[in-house]
Amino acid sequence: MYGLSKDALRWTAKATTTSWKDQGSHGYVRYTHRATMTKMVPGDTYYYKVGSSQDMSDVYHFHQPDPTQPLRAAIFGDLSVYKGAPSIKQLTDATHDNHFDVIIHIGDIAYDLHDDEGNRGDDYMNAVQPFAAYVPYMVFAGNHESDSHFNQIINRFTMPKNGVYDNNLFWSFDYGLTHFIGLNSEYYAEIHTKEAQAQYKWLQADLAKNKAQWTIVMFHRPWYCSTKDKGGCNDYLDMLSRKGNSELPGLEKLLFDHKVDMVLYGHKHTYERMWPIYDGTGYKSSDSGHIRNAKAPVYILTGSAGCHTHEGPSDAPQSFSATRLGQYGYTRLKVYNTTHLSTYFVDTSDKVGNFMDKFYLEKD
């Protein structure tokens, strides 16, 4: 039930129910209920509750996107239900203070959704409900979701349909001036050749028809970063999605050719912002905190939301590295207009959420 006032939920949306079996040894059956609200008006606030004749939830609310207003997003990867508690609290507080329009989780969820016969996933969903009930919570798979053919992420969530598989594993959506794309780098790491080829073909078409002023692409495994051993990100499985091989089509040139503005990923449990990069070359300018008319996508590694193996910043920065931080936290993105966006890192190891690494991207 939903409506424009918490005291007048005048409309109903009937859910469809899907049963699915957890991959644990007991094979517990779980149920996911999905309903679609209609007649949404941009800029309006809607109140809703879910349930049945037997019981109903509390009343929650969300704000329907207003494309005329700046976009505000939180983006992060690698969040545990336990080690990530400080980030979850600060994300919740910021949501209730109306700081976000969308929250995007770029893989590695709960550590792990399927653990303890799936009860870890239930605990995680309960933990994030205080923010996920109020703003869109977008997810896609990391390596910790690949178990049993992505069973948990396919069945627990509902992402935009892509017309290929429609199973939450890759998607895109427009929000105001920005086109967001979420991709599955695990197709490459797990050598799912057919699926990787289908995703590439879909991505070609999606980028070709994209008319948004800003384009932001996200996936889990990093292409560029600094590491402790001076080698940077060069893991073969991570590089497959970037470079490809004779059967797996690489993605980097496609993103560059279509002038993607920014790429974000996780997997490494730290934070690093890079200069614009293409094919291993960083394009530096006079001010790393304010880049105008970038020659290639800006890359941000944001995998430090909170998990069991946190990593400090590298003391062997690559030539394309602009900033490295060792705190727990997440990235905030703000798209102001057709010419300016900004990002900064929120340090959630600090109780007040200290803002760090303020960055502006500008284009004519």
pLDDT tens-digit readout, 36-77: 999 899 999 999 999 999 999 999 999 999 988 999 999 999
Examine the domain organization and report whether 351 and 260 are in the same domain.
yes
Question: Token match 């910021």: residue?
Answer: 94
Question: CA-to-CA distance for 258 and 215, rounded, in angstroms?
Answer: 9
Tell me: pLDDT of 242 over 90.
yes
Examine the domain organization and report whether 4 and 128 are in the same domain.
no
Domain boundary among 64, 96, 113: 64
Summarised one tens digit per residue, pLDDT across range 298-309 is: 999 999 999 988
How many CA atoms lie within 13 Å of 224's alpha carbon, on the beta-carbon side? 27
Examine the domain organization and report whether 78 and 189 are in the same domain.
yes
What SS3 class is residue 257?
helix
pLDDT category, 253, cuts 50, 70, 90?
very high
pLDDT category, 258, cuts 50, 70, 90?
very high
Question: CA-to-CA distance for 124 and 122, rounded, in angstroms?
Answer: 5
The fraction of the chain above a pLDDT of 90, given in percent, is: 93
User: 96-99 long-range contacts, Cβ below 8 Å, gap at least 24?
Assistant: 96/130, 96/131, 96/134, 99/72, 99/332
Give alpha helix (H) positions in 116-251. Answer: 119-132, 147-156, 186-189, 193-209, 236-243
Examine the domain organization and report whether 123 and 22 are in the same domain.
no
Tell me: pLDDT of 311 over 90.
no
Instruction: Determine the average pLDDT of the residues in 140-164.
Output: 97
pLDDT category, 286, cuts 50, 70, 90?
very high
Instruction: Determine the average pLDDT of the residues in 340-349.
Output: 98
Contact by Cβ (8 Å): 308, 80? yes
Cis peptide before 112 (omega within 30 of 0): yes
Question: CA-to-CA distance for 256 and 259, rounded, in angstroms?
Answer: 5
Examine the domain organization and report whether 118 and 84 are in the same domain.
yes
Tell me: pLDDT of 232 over 90.
no
The fraction of the chain above a pLDDT of 70, given in percent, is: 100
Tell me: pLDDT of 338 over 90.
yes
The amino acid that residue 5 corresponds to is S
Tell me: pLDDT of 335 over 80.
yes
Q: Residue 315: which CATH number?
A: 3.60.21.10
Domain boundary among 64, 96, 111: 64
What SS3 class is residue 293?
coil
Q: What local confidence, expressed as pLDDT, does residue 350 receive? A: 85
Query: Domain range holding 285?
Result: 69-362
Instruction: Determine the average pLDDT of the residues in 25-43.
Output: 95
Examine the domain organization and report whether 200 and 348 are in the same domain.
yes
Task: Write phi, then psi, for 206 (nearest 5 degrees).
Answer: -65, -45
Examine the domain organization and report whether 190 and 282 are in the same domain.
yes
Examine the domain organization and report whether 169 and 154 are in the same domain.
yes
Examine the domain organization and report whether 51 and 78 are in the same domain.
no
Sign of the CA dihedral with 19 first, then 184, 67, and 62 last: positive
Q: How many residues does the chain have?
A: 364
Number of domains in the chain: 2
Instruction: Give the residue among 271, 189, 280, 169 at the shortest CA–CA distance from 238.
Output: 189
Instruction: Determine the average pLDDT of the residues in 229-251.
Output: 92
Instruction: Determine the average pLDDT of the residues in 162-177.
Output: 96
Examine the domain organization and report whether 73 and 59 are in the same domain.
no
Tell me: pLDDT of 280 over 80.
yes
Instruction: Give the residue among 215, 171, 221, 241 at the shortest CA–CA distance from 71.
Output: 215
The amino acid that residue 291 corresponds to is I
Q: What local confidence, expressed as pLDDT, does residue 312 receive? A: 86
Examine the domain organization and report whether 53 and 76 are in the same domain.
no
Question: CA-to-CA distance for 82 and 123, rounded, in angstroms?
Answer: 9
Question: CA-to-CA distance for 187 and 174, rounded, in angstroms?
Answer: 24
Domain boundary among 40, 64, 88: 64
Examine the domain organization and report whether 3 and 92 are in the same domain.
no
Q: Calculate the average pLDDT of the chain.
A: 96
